[in-house]
Amino acid sequence: MKILILGDIVGRPGRNAVANQLSHLREEYKPDLVIVNGENASAGRGLTEKNAKELFELDIDVITTGNHVWDKKEILTYIESYPQLIRPANYPDPCPGKGYTIIHKGETTIGVINLSGVVYLSNLTNPFHTIDKILHEISKQCNIIILDFHAEATSEKLAMGYYCDGRISLVYGTHTHVQTADKRILNGGTGYITDIGMTGPLDGILGVDKDIIIQQMQNNRPARYDLAQGPVQINGIITEINEETGKCQSLDNFIRIIEE
Ligand SMILES: [Fe+2]
Ligand SMILES: [Fe+2]
């Protein structure tokens, strides 16, 4: 089974890029399943119901999120209605929504899990404990298991990759918005990449207007984050997973630049 995954969609430029380019990516890669990270899809912070619907209308199978999941307050009430929109599983129990979803494609059952790191991020439940708990719940029923590990520290992400090796088909990182060049298949057959990058403005800092960020770094004052203008990048990965063994057979990363 081929799976196409796109990094954090940032604001309208990112959403437009997905709307305009996904059909071309589908033609090229012929994926059976498409996953995107939507935590920044609405004005760079959070995800409105309208924007979630628009993404699902493009036949995206799963939307994962991260630390920005709650930024648009309306998600607290609508997330329960969209089982294929997931949030990090290690948020405490009173949080609405689910940390994983199970998809059926023909004879194949795919589990998609979302977890947040805890190094330089919120102090959530330990993700290594949470992944064990989830795998105990879903491993038997899934042919393929995918994890979006939304985390800051490369060490935490690599540790999760090795921790899951042989138990999960693919561990990929999101959150830093910068794609890493370390894709590989670990000894136990788990595909791994530290970060798949972002989908949104290229000529900015993680999608935000670079002058605002530079100024903020100079003066240490809070600032309103406007998105950068200009060309847009689409960052993602395409992977092939064996449905029988659940092991990763190939993993490739890509970056597309779309001039305005
Ligand atoms: Fe993000
Ligand atoms: Fe994030």
Given this model, what pLDDT does residue 259 score? 86
CATH code where residue 142 lies? 3.60.21.10
Digit-coded pLDDT (tens) for 19-54 = 999 999 999 999 999 999 999 999 999 999 999 999
Domain count, the chain: 1
Q: Which ligand lies nearest to the CA atom of residue 45 in the structure?
A: 1
Do 65 and 88 meet the contact criterion of CB atoms below 8 Å apart? yes
Residue 260 pLDDT > 80: no
Helix (H) or strand (E) holding 32: none
Percent of all residues in the chain with a pLDDT value above 70, rounded to a whole number: 100
Binding site feature residues for Fe cation: 8, 39-40, 67, 150, 175, 177
* C-alpha to C-alpha distance for 2 and 5, rounded to whole angstroms: 10
**Residue 195 alpha carbon to ligand 1 centre in Å:** 11
Catalytic residue positions? 68
Instruction: Provide φ and ψ at 174, rounded to 5°.
Output: -135, 180
* C-alpha to C-alpha distance for 27 and 6, rounded to whole angstroms: 15
The domain in which residue 6 lies consists of 2-258
Given this model, what pLDDT does residue 209 score? 96
Do 227 and 207 meet the contact criterion of CB atoms below 8 Å apart? yes
User: End-to-end CA distance of the chain, in Å?
Assistant: 33
**Residue 196 alpha carbon to ligand 2 centre in Å:** 12
Do 226 and 212 meet the contact criterion of CB atoms below 8 Å apart? yes
**Residue 75 alpha carbon to ligand 2 centre in Å:** 16
Digit-coded pLDDT (tens) for 59-83 = 999 999 999 999 999 999 999 999 9
Do 133 and 96 meet the contact criterion of CB atoms below 8 Å apart? no
Binding site feature residues: 8, 39-40, 67, 150, 175, 177
Given this model, what pLDDT does residue 227 score? 96
Provide mean pLDDT across the span 82-91.
98
In a 13 Å sphere around the CA of 50, the CA atoms on its Cβ side amount to 5
Q: Which ligand lies nearest to the CA atom of residue 116 in the structure?
A: 2
**Residue 65 alpha carbon to ligand 1 centre in Å:** 8
Q: Which ligand lies nearest to the CA atom of residue 235 in the structure?
A: 1
When the pLDDT of each residue in the chain is averaged and rounded to a whole number, the result is 97
Closest CA to 12 of 31, 40, 33, 39: 40
